[in-house]
Amino acid sequence: MGTGIRLGRIAGIEIRLQWSVVVIFLLIAWSLATVQFTPTPGVGTTASWVAAVIAALLYFGALLAHELGHALLAQRKGLEVESITLWVFGGVSRLKGEAEGPADEFRIAVIGPVVSLAVAAVFAGAGYLLATLGAPTLAVDVARWLALINLLLGVFNLLPAFPLDGGRVLRAGLWRRSKDRASATRTAAAVGRAFGISFVAGGVFLFVAGAPVNGLWFALLGWFLFGAARAEESHVLLAGALRDVRVAQVMTGHPTVVPTDLAVQDYVEQAMASRFTSFPVVDRSGAVVGLVTMRRVRAAMAGGDQHATVGQVAIPLAQVPVLSPYDTATQLVDRLQQAPDGRALVFDGGHLVGIVSPTDLQRMLDLALLRPRGDR
């Protein structure tokens, strides 16, 4: 979720916006302007559109407040929050690390819906006050719509459909009872997948029953819940299996390096001779300046650039994840999610000591999963 439009930082947390939000914003504004705030005597089309745009902006502001609730409480509990990304189904807070216990898990999960319900109460109060003071009907309608949508947002997120907030609350309860976070995650994820399937089935029913738009939204939401539950379960189980593993145990040590002026044609011979396809690239002084992979070379050759050098096609070092051999494998997994071509370099005291590829990580994961559960 690190892609998208960067909006800035709040409390040191990077705020991003996925491109899909722009489309959803326009759809919400169009729907409000043409259905919810339709022009009436004394209220023209322009006023309806202005109200719709303001309401849509405040809605996404409320989504951000919801996610900030999670993120700021997570910071207070000692977790590092890397970013918040607003997207088509709300927002995602990217945390480094996990809650230490079920109590922290519960508090971090439940604060988001609490914020949404509080925002709903504020707008409900504002709507009542505006109506009492005789404010324009359009202003009252905007406040009431925002109260309703935030109420729905808070209630919806309390559904026990992992990874929604309610699903995380469910996992916290299961975790507290079983003392096993991985087992709690598996159960909560199964419930989340069941909700996802139910939403897809409901969407199909609505589509057949003559409500194609609502049916499509339900189906998309169900697909999202099902996929997100599976992805979150995989991530947690992966982190648990690799919890005590260090990067030094995962990496391929003493990697072969290639000079920046090596032709991409000669890279092919180098790869065939060494059995590896990714190489750190060094300049004439021996300093590592990048990483060349087969995908980069293939793209260059397909583009007719057979005379390019690996230095010209390599990933710059600034874009390559760099770790220490003493970092944990879970840190490695987090860094590789954002890595170009899925590779990382390992340095110890400023010296290159290893390289990590998806194959290295998969091998270590396969071995880690063979250990008895009590050893994980």
Task: Write the pLDDT tens digit of every residue in 130-183.
Answer: 999 988 888 999 999 999 999 999 999 999 988 889 999 999 999 999 988 888
Do 16 and 136 share a domain, yes or no?
Answer: yes
Whether 102 and 172 have beta carbons less than 8 Å apart is answered as yes
Please give the pLDDT value at position 371.
66
Q: How far apart are CA 293 and CA 178, in angstroms?
A: 45
The answer to whether residues 164 and 49 belong to one domain is yes
Q: Return the ∠ at Cα 366 (arms to 244 and 175), rounded to 5°.
A: 55
What is the Cα–Cα distance from 174 to 181, expressed in whole angstroms?
8
Residues 110 and 256 in one domain: no
CB 95 within 8 A of CB 81: yes
Count of the separate structural domains present in the chain: 2
Shared-domain flag, residues 183 and 143: yes
Pick the closest to residue 370 from 241, 267, 191, 271 (CA basis): 241
Q: What is the pTM of this model?
A: 0.70
As beta bridge partners, residue 10 has: 13
Residue 106 CB-half CA count within 13 A: 9
Phi-psi domain of 147 (left: phi exceeds 0; alpha: psi -120 through 50; beta: other): alpha
Token pair for 26: 């326009």
pLDDT of 3: 55
Judged by DSSP in three states, 338 sits in coil
- Boundary residue ending a domain (201, 225, 241): 241
Residues labelled as active-site residues:
67
Asked whether residue 142 falls in the same domain as residue 251, the answer is no
pLDDT tens per residue across span 190-245: 999 999 999 999 999 998 998 887 888 888 888 988 888 888 787 777 777 777 78
Amino acid 40: pLDDT:
64
Give the residue numbers spanning the domain of 139: 5-241
Read off the pLDDT band of 325 (50, 70, 90): very high
- If you average pLDDT over residues 320-345, what whole number do you get? 85
Residue 294 belongs to domain with CATH number = 3.10.580.10
Domain co-membership, 205 together with 329? no
Last residue of a domain, one of 200, 226, 241: 241
Q: How confident is the model at residue 317 (pLDDT cuts 50, 70, 90)?
A: very high
Task: Round to whole Å and give the CA distance between 190 and 230.
Answer: 8
